Amino acid sequence: MTSPLSNIRVLDMSRILAGPWAGQLLGDYGADVVKIEMPLSGDDTRHWGPPWLDGEEGGESAYFLSANRNKRSVTVNISMAAGQQVIRDLAKQADVLLENFKVGTLARYGLGPDDLFGVNPKLIYCSISAFGQSGSRSQEPGYDAMIQASAGLMSVTGAAGDADAGPQKVGVAISDIMAGMYATTAVLAALNSRVATGQGQHIDVPLYDSQVAWLANQSMNFLIGGKTPVRMGSAHPNLVPYQVFATRDGSLMLTVGNDRQFADCCAVLGAPELAQDARFSDMSHRISHREQLVALLAAKFKERDTADWLHALQDGGVPAGAVNDIAEVLTNQHAVERKLVHRMRNSQGAEIPFVRNPVEFRNTPVTYRTAPPLLGEHTREVLEQWLGYSDEQIQALQEEDVL
Instruction: Give residue-wise pLDDT tens across range 324-363.
Output: 999 999 999 999 999 999 999 999 999 999 999 999 999 9
176 flagged as catalytic: yes
Span 141-176, pLDDT tens digits: 989 999 999 999 999 999 987 767 889 999 999 999
Which of the residue ranges 135-139, 163-167, 215-219, 345-349 would you say has the lowest mean pLDDT?
A: 163-167
DSSP 61: B
Q: Is 257 helix (H, G, I), strand (E, B) or coil?
A: coil
Q: Which of 295, 323, 351 is the last residue of a domain?
A: 323
**Which CA distances in Å does 34 have to 12, 47, 173, 232?**
6, 20, 24, 43
Asked if the model's pLDDT at residue 1 lies above 60, the reply is no
Residue 356 within a domain:
no
In this prediction, residue 361 carries a pLDDT of 95
> Do both 196 and 265 map to the same domain?
no
> Do both 186 and 248 map to the same domain?
no
Domain around 282: 242-323
For residue 124, the domain's CATH number is: 3.40.50.10540
Asked if the model's pLDDT at residue 58 lies above 80, the reply is no
Residue 344 within a domain:
no
Helices (H), 51-173: 62-65, 81-93, 105-108, 113-117, 144-150
Confidence of residue 56 (pLDDT cuts 50, 70, 90): confident
> Do both 149 and 247 map to the same domain?
no
Q: Which of 270, 304, 323 is the last residue of a domain?
A: 323
Confidence of residue 57 (pLDDT cuts 50, 70, 90): confident
> Do both 201 and 71 map to the same domain?
yes
Total domain count, the chain: 2
In this prediction, residue 166 carries a pLDDT of 86
> Do both 109 and 250 map to the same domain?
no
Nearest-angstrom CA–CA distance, 257 and 307: 22
User: How large is the average pLDDT for residues 218-243?
Assistant: 96
User: How large is the average pLDDT for residues 54-81?
Assistant: 93
Residue 198 within a domain:
yes
User: How large is the average pLDDT for residues 115-130?
Assistant: 98
Nearest-angstrom CA–CA distance, 62 and 49: 7
Of residues 32, 95, 176, 264, which has the active-site annotation? Answer: 176
Residue 266 within a domain:
yes
Residue 188 within a domain:
yes
For residue 256, the domain's CATH number is: 3.30.1540.10
> Do both 22 and 168 map to the same domain?
yes
> Do both 133 and 26 map to the same domain?
yes
